[in-house]
Structure 1
Amino acid sequence: MKLKSQKVHDAILKAARAEFTERGYVKATISKIAASAAISPSNVYVYFQSKLEIMLAVYEPWFKSKVKSFLAQQDVTAETENRIHALLTALWSQIPGRREGLTTPFMQALAMATPEEKYNPELLIWTENKIAEELIEILGAESLTRDQALAYAHLILITFDGVALRRNLQGLPDRSARMVQEMAALLAGIKKT
């Protein structure tokens, strides 16, 4: 059994990030990642079970840092609708549109995932919880139960997935700004009722 090295692990992730950013998930291969990391393709599997697992290991810290950064910069003195607008804009426009190009390859990975790859939903659960907590913070616990907040968070993330997938297509109208406006008004209305 080969011993795992942090240096090799990090080299794989660095090479994978470059491959996913440059070529997308579909065109990136374990062979190319291994060559860029200066190891054999079989050695990659000592560290990761699949290309999907590598994609998650690359995407998760990047995505979490974007969400945490947004939440840290959120203006808690802003009006309810403006705060929701900022949250949705971050999730439906800013993060999927980042030049680093990690959201599109991540969506490709999810679209191609098979049950055998055993997708780990930890990032999804973390994100839904963060969004739900933020919605409760904005709207108030008296306006929104945790279950309701999680349902809205799930809906927001499904929309995130769709927006991210559509970014790869040409010729489609971008309605994300209007979607943000309408959903922010809808959610802000919960606090008023």
Structure 2
Amino acid sequence: MSGAQERPLRADAARNRARLLDVATEVFTTRGVGVPTEEIARAAGVGVGTLFRHFPTKEALLEAVMVRRLESIAAQSAQLTADSEPAEAFFACFRLVVDQSAGKNEFAQALAAAGVDAQAALQEPSKAIRAQLAGLLVGAQRAAAVRPELGLSELIALLVGTTTMMEQLGADPAARQRMFEVIFDGLRPR
């Protein structure tokens, strides 16, 4: 059977795959990418053979976790856009992207070290997020909630910098909240 006509996963296999991705996301984000795959399989309640049937290498698992995270950000951003006023949606999405990007750099570095082109795998979900950010930015600017001179490339640079800064702060929720307040204040028009 060709790759273009792969059969859908059985229900139990789909559940195992989803559980593995959930556990791997949590473990890699909280403990780093150095955690052995055997430990992830054990935490997910499956055998290591099941893990390797879904993800033949640790890099394939890391890549799947990154793709899933970006797809989740894209879906949540779309929901924010549909459910909220432009300004509220913009700032909520900014916070979402920063919060959901924890550990992303470590994932990308691990994949690059293994010779995996993460950019290719992440191209589609990254495009979707970029398009949503562009729409959110324009909507917030039209609502006079964000500086009109801010461009999309500047917004993305600010998101990347904020993510790095938040990683330096660690898990201190009060410090994180202060940083969001400072950044959001700077984004608002004078």
Q: TM-score range by the shorter chain?
A: 0.5 to 0.7
Note if contact 1:59-1:106 (Cα within 8 Å) is conserved in structure 2: no
CA distance in structure 2 between the aligned counterparts of 1:63 and 1:167, rounded to whole angstroms: 22
1:104 matched to 2:102: yes
How much identity, in percent, do the aligned residues show? Answer: 7
Correspondence for 1:13 among 12, 18, 22: 18
1:158 matched to 2:160: yes
- What pairs with 1:1-193 in structure 2 (closer than 5 Å)? 6-7=9-10, 8-22=13-27, 24=29, 25-35=32-42, 36=44, 37-38=46-47, 40=49, 41-46=51-56, 50-76=60-86, 83=87, 87-92=90-95, 94=96, 96-97=98-99, 103-114=101-112, 116-119=115-118, 120-122=121-123, 123-140=125-142, 149-166=151-168, 168=170, 173-174=175-176, 175-185=179-189
CA distance in structure 1 between the aligned counterparts of 2:19 and 2:97, rounded to whole angstroms: 20
CA distance in structure 2 between the aligned counterparts of 1:51 and 1:154, rounded to whole angstroms: 26
Unaligned runs of at least 5 residues, structure 1: 77-82
Deviation at 1:46, TM superposition (A): 4.7
Number of residues paired by the alignment?
170
Q: TM-score by structure 1 length?
A: 0.64
Deviation at 1:68, TM superposition (A): 1.6
Moved over 6 A (4+): none
Note if contact 1:107-1:165 (Cα within 8 Å) is conserved in structure 2: no
* Higher RCO structure, 1 or 2 (CA under 8 Å, sep 6+): 1
Q: TM-score by structure 2 length?
A: 0.65
Structure 2 partner of 1:80: none
Note if contact 1:66-1:95 (Cα within 8 Å) is conserved in structure 2: no
Deviation at 1:29, TM superposition (A): 3.3
CA distance in structure 1 between the aligned counterparts of 2:89 and 2:166, rounded to whole angstroms: 17
CA distance in structure 2 between the aligned counterparts of 1:4 and 1:131, rounded to whole angstroms: 34
